[in-house]
């Protein structure tokens, strides 16, 4: 039975900062951010967007009545969840009006969470071929103002429906993975900003990629020639390129050129959003499918490298279905990007410093400024209040 990605939705908040202007404000050459890091725009979430609302907004565009009846499992991958106990998936389940006979859980391992969710979803569909699983990857990447990590912040969510006989991509069975207890990036419970050993994290990302890629080649009869593209977890778009470059010499020049061109297409969305942690790899896949000037052939194999600091890495593959492009929401995503509003560096700094109360006090937020259908409207008696404006 074929199991894979049936639909992909995406959401990013409506505010962004231009990386050229952030560079000037931080007294670095703009090319460091736009070329050295590879980022053009950084999404900035207003207080009215959190990991729950972004995931619900990403899912809203792709879910129809048939999906609502069939989804019996919601798996929410995040490392910026809103509650230590209640899963973010339950909130999204309610906001979308899904069928009550469903499981709803949150999973965590840094940026790897959504990949864990997809693998779990595959197992569920194998046992229950009629059902569909809603997988969410949603995060706000925060390192702090004037930190080395600042240029790699971002915010957004990806929603995927995993089903039998998928319309976009069949996920193949072979997968290679690796766990090692390292401290390259972490966020203790008491902190709303990540701690990171930046250079070490870059080295480990590449070492993990090389290990799972070599294992994949050893355990299959495939090599780089079998791939149309490789999509990477993209904390910033130069990172995946560094990993890709370590294996490009394995193939002839023309294959190298094809892989590099497809890599560029797979980074367009991420370049304009920033790191969205759990959703980043799937945003890159979406970017490849929607931003590539010519459609890829059905049957094209795409490699997927997932990395979550701490660390877990995995390499797995998918094969494109015929007419996959007819099942994308490219127009919606073009509109989402086109309708965003640029804010100045000082406005971004102000928004960054505004945080929700952490002392149990109530707050009411103005959701009229936020064009998203689903928003956080406040906190009452320690309970987040969500609004779906479409209901």
Minimum CB distance to ligand HMG, residue 385 (Å): 28
Distance CA 210, CA 228 (A): 18
Is 79 catalytic? The answer is: yes
> Site mask, ligand HMG, residues 40-79, x = CB under 6 A?
---------------------------------------x
Evaluate whether 43 touches 54 at the Cβ level (below 8 Å): no
Among 77, 235, 240, 318, binds ligand HMG (CB under 6 A): 235
SS3 string, 69-97, reads HHEEEEEEECCCCCCCCCCHHHHHHHHCC
Evaluate whether 42 touches 154 at the Cβ level (below 8 Å): yes
Beta bridge partners of 163: 4
- Could you say which of 93, 109, 124, 233 is catalytic? 233
Minimum CB distance to ligand HMG, residue 285 (Å): 16
Residue of 172, 181, 236 lying closest to 208 (CA atoms)? 181
**How many residues touch ligand HMG (CB under 6 A)?**
31
Instruction: Kindly state whether residue 277 participates in binding ligand HMG, applying the rule CB under 6 A.
Output: yes
* Closest CB to ligand HMG: residue number: 36
Instruction: Kindly state whether residue 103 participates in binding ligand HMG, applying the rule CB under 6 A.
Output: no
- Could you say which of 79, 106, 228, 290 is catalytic? 79
Instruction: Kindly state whether residue 275 participates in binding ligand HMG, applying the rule CB under 6 A.
Output: yes
- Could you say which of 93, 109, 111, 333 is catalytic? 111
Instruction: Kindly state whether residue 202 participates in binding ligand HMG, applying the rule CB under 6 A.
Output: yes
Q: Which is nearer to ligand HMG, 202 or 385 (CB)?
A: 202
Among 63, 168, 231, 239, binds ligand HMG (CB under 6 A): 239
What dihedral angle (degrees, nearest 10) is formed by the CA atoms of 45, 51, 54, 56?
-160
CA angle 216, 219, 225 (to 5 degrees): 55
What dihedral angle (degrees, nearest 10) is formed by the CA atoms of 152, 118, 301, 237?
0
Is 231 catalytic? The answer is: no
Residue of 355, 340, 376 lying closest to 42 (CA atoms)? 340
Instruction: Kindly state whether residue 273 participates in binding ligand HMG, applying the rule CB under 6 A.
Output: no
Active site residue ranges = 79, 111, 233
């Amino acid at each position: 039975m074929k199991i894979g990605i049936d639909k992909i939705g995406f959401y990013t908040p409506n505010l962004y900062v231009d990386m050229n202007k952030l560079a000037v404000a931080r007294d670095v050459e703009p090319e460091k951010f736009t070329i050295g890091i590879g980022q053009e725009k950084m999404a900035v979430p207003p207080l009215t967007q959190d990991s729950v609302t972004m995931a619900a907004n990403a899912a809203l565009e792709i879910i129809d009545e048939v999906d609502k009846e069939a989804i019996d499992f919601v798996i929410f991958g995040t490392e910026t969840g809103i509650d230590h106990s209640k899963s973010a998936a339950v909130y999204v389940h309610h906001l979308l009006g899904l069928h009550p006979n469903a499981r709803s859980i949150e999973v965590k391992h840094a940026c790897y969470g959504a990949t864990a969710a997809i693998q779990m979803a595959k197992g569920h569909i194998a046992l229950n071929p009629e059902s569909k699983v809603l997988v969410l990857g949603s995060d706000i990447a925060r390192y702090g103002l004037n930190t080395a990590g600042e240029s790699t912040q971002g915010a957004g969510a990806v929603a995927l429906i995993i089903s039998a006989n998928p319309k976009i991509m069949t996920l193949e069975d072979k997968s290679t993975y690796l766990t090692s207890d390292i401290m390259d990036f972490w966020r203790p419970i008491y902190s709303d900003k990540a701690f990171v050993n930046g250079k070490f994290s870059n080295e480990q990302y590449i070492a993990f990629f090389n290990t799972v890629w070599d294992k994949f080649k050893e355990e299959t009869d495939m090599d780089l020639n079998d791939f149309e593209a490789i999509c990477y977890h993209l904390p910033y778009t130069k990172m995946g390129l560094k990993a890709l470059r370590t294996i490009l010499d394995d193939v002839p020049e023309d294959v190298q050129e094809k892989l590099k061109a497809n890599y560029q297409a797979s980074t367009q969305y991420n370049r304009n959003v920033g790191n969205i942690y759990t959703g980043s790899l799937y945003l890159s896949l979406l970017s490849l499918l929607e931003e590539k000037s010519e459609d890829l052939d059905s049957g094209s194999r795409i490699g997927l490298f997932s990395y979550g600091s701490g660390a877990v890495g995995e390499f797995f593959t998918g094969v494109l279905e015929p007419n996959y492009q007819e099942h994308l929401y490219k127009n919606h995503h073009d509109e989402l990007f086109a309708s965003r509003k640029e804010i100045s560096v000082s406005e971004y700094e102000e928004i960054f410093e505004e945080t929700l109360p952490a002392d149990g006090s109530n707050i009411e937020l103005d959701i009229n400024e936020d064009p998203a259908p689903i928003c956080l409207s406040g906190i009452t008696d320690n309970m987040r209040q969500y609004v779906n404006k479409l209901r």
